[in-house]
Amino acid sequence: MPERNVVIIGGGLVGSLTACYFAKRGWQVDLYEKRPGKQFCLPTWLSIRSINLAISERGFSALRRLDPTLEKRVKALVIPMHGRMIHSLDGTQTSQAYDVFGKAINSVGRSTLIRVLLDEASQYKNVRMHFNHEFQQADFDAGRADSDLIVGADGAYSRVRQRLMAKVMLNYSQTYIEHGYCEFSMPPRNGDFAISPSHLHIWPRQSFMLIALPNQDKSFTVTLFDQLKTGQDAVEFFRANFPDALDLMGADKVASEYMVNPKGSLMYVKCTPYTYKNRAVVIGDAAHAMVPFYGQGMNCGFEDIEELDKIMLSVARDGMSDDQILRALDTYSSKRTKDASAIVDLALDNYVEMRAKVIDYAYLARKHLEGL
Ligand code: FAD
């Protein structure tokens, strides 16, 4: 069987893990990332995305399948959050455990995780990384000499997906929600975390909310999800709605961060199929961007590559013929489009859960009775 080549577009969270998976299978990997080299990992380059994110068992499973030591190394960098802490307007805090057996979701720095995955990919001799290279377009049928397969891991606004749309009858939808987000920081207090580090903190206010996730440096990244208005007096808004958070963050910091920090919009993408013949596939946000309220966008992208790897292995243990690649991609697309579409919907539903239902005690009592 000939040696296989794959071109991966996008060296973000999902693209870098994808590079590792193909390299481990013995493929020659060329990874193209539009951002410039090492600077790419610095938070400023990522400023419009969250500073930290939650990695769950779904994500760990994909790391473990690639290499159990990678999972261990990433686990050493996370802060487990065993439950959510609900902050009422009067300052009362109520802890709600995620799991009776103590399972947790885990806060990890986005730039830390990307760095680990890019370093991991660069350990493979058969991976070539090309930073400062922006994919514009490709003729998927023509590029044979360069690659057998193109993987689009180029995020929510994927160009690879756009090219797929020109080739196949691809159903596609992109929907913006009316709320956006802005990130703030809560510094440590007396050298320690200002609030419990083993919780994901939520200030649910029915139609909007504030959340906070812990960082290794004992600070918290605090995110406001709302219909953000320019010229809004952030301090007054915090004083009226999140007075305890304002005390811990400091009025000056809230005012300046609201002014300076970028305001992100939130949207979700669905498309089907994910593939073109045996030549191209989209993965991660390129295939199924989702709103962040379920904390599953990256986790689901990691699961994509784990699933694809399992399917490829079930089709051929060693080298793959063109037909076998086609069979693997077809199976992947038909299975994964359904699963990912369900997670996109769950993520949307969870916004109402987080900003309103967590304080609806009748709802909580009902959920408790359902569980008995
Ligand atoms: P991206 O992270 O978007 O990476 C795509 C890469 O491709 C980038 O490096 C980009 O520079 C590159 N690229 C783009 N176009 C080109 C091109 N033409 N040529 C070359 N390179 C290109 N997920 C979770 O699992 N848990 C969370 O807690 C969580 N919290 C979130 C909070 C917020 C506020 C947001 C916005 C998202 C959150 N997510 C979370 C979702 C998560 O960030 C995404 O699902 C994840 O980043 C997707 O990874 P990706 O590699 O597919 O895409």
Domain residue ranges of the chain, discontinuous segments joined by +: 5-79+107-175+268-358, 176-264
Residue 328: the pLDDT is: 97
Residue 232 pLDDT grade (very low, low, confident, very high; cuts 50, 70, 90): confident
Residue 102 pLDDT grade (very low, low, confident, very high; cuts 50, 70, 90): confident
Residue 228: the pLDDT is: 78
Q: Averaged over 355-359, what is the pLDDT?
A: 80
Residue 355 pLDDT grade (very low, low, confident, very high; cuts 50, 70, 90): confident
Cβ of 197 below 6 Å from ligand 1: no
Atom of ligand 1 nearest to the CA of 213: 28
Answer whether residue 128 shows pLDDT above 90: yes
Residue 140 pLDDT grade (very low, low, confident, very high; cuts 50, 70, 90): confident
Answer whether residue 38 shows pLDDT above 70: no
Residue 117: the pLDDT is: 96
Long-range contacts from 127-130, C-beta under 8 angstroms, 24+ separation: 127/19, 127/20, 127/23, 127/29, 127/31, 128/28, 128/29, 128/30, 128/31, 129/11, 129/19, 129/31, 129/33, 130/30, 130/31, 130/32, 130/33
DSSP string, 167-215: HS--EEEEEEEEEEEEEEEE--BTTB-SS-TTEEEEEE-SS-EEEEEE-
Residue 312 pLDDT grade (very low, low, confident, very high; cuts 50, 70, 90): very high
Q: Averaged over 290-318, what is the pLDDT?
A: 95
Q: Averaged over 170-188, what is the pLDDT?
A: 95
Distance 25 CA to ligand 1 centre (A): 24
**Residue to mutate, 298, 305, 344, 346, ligand 1, most ligand atoms under 8 Å from C-beta:** 298
Cβ of 160 below 6 Å from ligand 1: no
Answer whether residue 1 shows pLDDT above 80: no
State the complex-level ipTM: 0.99
- Going by CA atoms, what residue is nearest to atom 8 of ligand 1? 12
Distance 68 CA to ligand 1 centre (A): 24
Q: Averaged over 15-21, what is the pLDDT?
A: 98
**Residue to mutate, 105, 154, 282, ligand 1, most ligand atoms under 8 Å from C-beta:** 154
Distance 262 CA to ligand 1 centre (A): 16
Distance 141 CA to ligand 1 centre (A): 27
Cβ of 295 below 6 Å from ligand 1: yes
Reduce the DSSP state of residue 8 to 3 states and report it.
strand
Residue 39: the pLDDT is: 59
Cβ of 134 below 6 Å from ligand 1: yes
**Residue to mutate, 31, 35, 45, 50, ligand 1, most ligand atoms under 8 Å from C-beta:** 50
43-52, 56-65, 221-230, range with the lowest pLDDT: 43-52
Place of tokens 């947790």: 104
Distance 371 CA to ligand 1 centre (A): 35
Answer whether residue 145 shows pLDDT above 60: no
Distance 233 CA to ligand 1 centre (A): 30
Report the range out of 1-10, 39-48, 153-162 with the highest average pLDDT.
153-162
Q: Averaged over 232-258, what is the pLDDT?
A: 95
Atom of ligand 1 nearest to the CA of 56: 25
Cβ of 40 below 6 Å from ligand 1: no
Mean pLDDT, the chain, integer: 91
Model pTM score: 0.94
- Going by CA atoms, what residue is nearest to atom 14 of ligand 1? 154
- Number of continuous H segments (helices) and E segments (strands) in the chain: 12, 16
CA 78 from centre of chain: 15
Q: Please list the residues that pair with 239 across neighbouring strands.
A: none
Amino acid in position 145: A
Residue range 5-79+107-175+268-358 forms a domain whose CATH class is alpha beta
Cβ of 56 below 6 Å from ligand 1: no
Distance 200 CA to ligand 1 centre (A): 21
**Residue to mutate, 53, 98, 108, 132, ligand 1, most ligand atoms under 8 Å from C-beta:** 53
Give the closest residue to 162 by CA, choosing from 331, 8, 280: 280
Residue 37: the pLDDT is: 77
Answer whether residue 46 shows pLDDT above 70: no
